Amino acid sequence: VPITLIHLGREIECDGIIDSGSNYCIFLPWVADTLGIPWMRGRPVSVSTVGEKAAVFLTQVNLQVMEKPFSCEVGFSRMSTGFNLIGRKGFFERHEITFKENEKRVILKENDDATRAKKASRAFGLLSDAEADSIEAGIRSLRRKTRR
Protein backbone atom coordinates (compact mmCIF):
# COMPACT_ATOMS: atom_id res chain seq x y z
CA VAL A 1 0.00 0.00 0.00
CA PRO A 2 1.45 3.41 -0.88
CA ILE A 3 1.80 5.57 2.24
CA THR A 4 3.19 9.08 2.69
CA LEU A 5 5.11 10.12 5.81
CA ILE A 6 5.25 13.84 6.57
CA HIS A 7 7.59 15.45 9.09
CA LEU A 8 8.57 19.11 9.51
CA GLY A 9 7.70 20.09 5.95
CA ARG A 10 9.35 17.08 4.33
CA GLU A 11 7.48 14.15 2.91
CA ILE A 12 8.20 10.82 1.32
CA GLU A 13 5.96 8.23 -0.28
CA CYS A 14 6.90 4.60 0.20
CA ASP A 15 5.21 1.22 0.16
CA GLY A 16 4.08 -0.60 3.28
CA ILE A 17 2.55 -3.97 4.01
CA ILE A 18 -0.62 -3.94 6.13
CA ASP A 19 0.16 -6.25 9.04
CA SER A 20 -2.57 -6.94 11.59
CA GLY A 21 0.01 -8.86 13.63
CA SER A 22 2.14 -5.77 14.16
CA ASN A 23 1.30 -3.43 17.03
CA TYR A 24 3.06 -0.48 15.39
CA CYS A 25 3.69 0.99 11.99
CA ILE A 26 7.40 0.27 11.56
CA PHE A 27 9.50 1.79 8.81
CA LEU A 28 13.04 1.18 7.64
CA PRO A 29 15.73 3.65 8.76
CA TRP A 30 16.22 5.16 5.27
CA VAL A 31 12.68 6.59 5.50
CA ALA A 32 13.55 8.45 8.73
CA ASP A 33 16.90 9.57 7.29
CA THR A 34 15.17 11.00 4.20
CA LEU A 35 12.78 12.96 6.44
CA GLY A 36 15.62 14.19 8.68
CA ILE A 37 14.31 12.31 11.71
CA PRO A 38 16.97 11.34 14.27
CA TRP A 39 15.16 8.04 14.68
CA MET A 40 17.43 6.45 17.27
CA ARG A 41 16.42 9.23 19.69
CA GLY A 42 12.81 8.02 19.62
CA ARG A 43 11.11 6.18 22.47
CA PRO A 44 12.61 2.67 22.47
CA VAL A 45 10.41 -0.44 22.59
CA SER A 46 11.21 -4.07 21.97
CA VAL A 47 9.23 -5.90 19.31
CA SER A 48 9.14 -9.64 18.69
CA THR A 49 8.54 -11.14 15.27
CA VAL A 50 8.48 -14.73 14.16
CA GLY A 51 12.21 -14.77 13.55
CA GLU A 52 13.70 -12.08 15.76
CA LYS A 53 13.45 -9.60 18.60
CA ALA A 54 14.22 -6.06 17.48
CA ALA A 55 14.61 -2.58 18.94
CA VAL A 56 12.11 -0.09 17.54
CA PHE A 57 12.33 3.65 18.14
CA LEU A 58 8.95 5.42 18.21
CA THR A 59 8.37 9.00 17.10
CA GLN A 60 5.39 11.12 16.04
CA VAL A 61 4.88 11.83 12.33
CA ASN A 62 1.95 12.50 10.01
CA LEU A 63 0.81 9.68 7.77
CA GLN A 64 -1.30 10.01 4.67
CA VAL A 65 -2.82 7.03 2.92
CA MET A 66 -5.93 8.51 1.45
CA GLU A 67 -6.97 12.14 1.60
CA LYS A 68 -6.44 13.40 5.14
CA PRO A 69 -3.04 13.27 6.86
CA PHE A 70 -3.19 12.20 10.50
CA SER A 71 -0.75 12.18 13.38
CA CYS A 72 0.57 8.76 14.31
CA GLU A 73 3.32 7.36 16.51
CA VAL A 74 5.44 5.18 14.24
CA GLY A 75 8.60 3.20 14.74
CA PHE A 76 11.87 2.95 12.89
CA SER A 77 13.98 -0.16 13.06
CA ARG A 78 16.68 -2.20 11.37
CA MET A 79 14.45 -5.29 11.47
CA SER A 80 15.47 -7.92 8.98
CA THR A 81 12.07 -7.95 7.25
CA GLY A 82 13.36 -5.54 4.62
CA PHE A 83 10.00 -3.80 4.18
CA ASN A 84 7.79 -1.23 5.92
CA LEU A 85 4.96 -2.52 8.10
CA ILE A 86 1.64 -0.76 8.61
CA GLY A 87 0.49 -1.97 12.02
CA ARG A 88 -2.53 -1.52 14.24
CA LYS A 89 -1.79 1.40 16.60
CA GLY A 90 -2.75 4.68 15.03
CA PHE A 91 -3.75 3.15 11.70
CA PHE A 92 -6.34 0.38 12.06
CA GLU A 93 -8.77 2.44 14.18
CA ARG A 94 -8.73 5.16 11.50
CA HIS A 95 -9.49 2.81 8.62
CA GLU A 96 -11.87 0.06 7.70
CA ILE A 97 -9.70 -2.59 6.07
CA THR A 98 -11.05 -5.34 3.85
CA PHE A 99 -8.83 -8.05 2.41
CA LYS A 100 -10.13 -9.54 -0.85
CA GLU A 101 -7.84 -12.55 -0.85
CA ASN A 102 -9.24 -14.17 -3.99
CA GLU A 103 -8.74 -10.89 -5.89
CA LYS A 104 -5.37 -10.14 -4.22
CA ARG A 105 -6.74 -6.73 -3.27
CA VAL A 106 -7.02 -4.58 -0.14
CA ILE A 107 -9.81 -2.04 0.26
CA LEU A 108 -9.19 0.88 2.62
CA LYS A 109 -11.89 3.24 3.79
CA GLU A 110 -11.28 6.12 6.20
CA ASN A 111 -13.46 6.14 9.29
CA ASP A 112 -14.74 9.54 10.33
CA ASP A 113 -13.98 11.06 13.77
CA ALA A 114 -17.27 9.93 15.28
CA THR A 115 -16.83 6.34 14.14
CA ARG A 116 -13.24 6.25 15.45
CA ALA A 117 -14.30 7.60 18.85
CA LYS A 118 -17.11 5.10 19.07
CA LYS A 119 -14.91 2.14 18.11
CA ALA A 120 -12.17 3.15 20.54
CA SER A 121 -14.67 3.61 23.38
CA ARG A 122 -16.15 0.19 22.78
CA ALA A 123 -12.76 -1.47 22.35
CA PHE A 124 -11.56 -0.21 25.71
CA GLY A 125 -14.89 -0.78 27.47
CA LEU A 126 -15.17 2.88 28.39
CA LEU A 127 -18.74 3.42 27.23
CA SER A 128 -21.84 1.38 26.66
CA ASP A 129 -23.21 1.13 23.12
CA ALA A 130 -25.97 3.65 24.00
CA GLU A 131 -23.43 6.15 25.38
CA ALA A 132 -21.18 5.73 22.33
CA ASP A 133 -24.17 6.21 19.99
CA SER A 134 -25.17 9.38 21.88
CA ILE A 135 -21.65 10.83 21.56
CA GLU A 136 -21.53 9.93 17.88
CA ALA A 137 -24.85 11.72 17.29
CA GLY A 138 -23.54 14.80 19.13
CA ILE A 139 -20.37 14.93 17.04
CA ARG A 140 -22.34 14.60 13.80
CA SER A 141 -24.71 17.38 14.93
CA LEU A 142 -21.80 19.72 15.72
CA ARG A 143 -20.23 18.93 12.37
CA ARG A 144 -23.45 19.86 10.55
CA LYS A 145 -23.69 23.15 12.47
CA THR A 146 -20.12 24.16 11.62
CA ARG A 147 -20.67 23.49 7.91
CA ARG A 148 -23.50 26.03 7.74
Convert the pLDDT of each residue in 41-94 to its tens digit: 999 999 887 778 889 999 999 999 877 888 999 999 998 778 999 998 989 888
Cα 51 to Cα 71: distance, rounded to the nearest angstrom: 30
Backbone angles phi, psi at 126, to 5 degrees: -80, -30
Angle at 103 between CA 67 and CA 15, to 5 degrees: 40
Q: Report strand pairing: 105-110 vs 95-100.
A: antiparallel
The model's pTM: 0.72
Beta bridge partners of 57: 44, 76
Pick 17 or 139 by higher pLDDT.
17
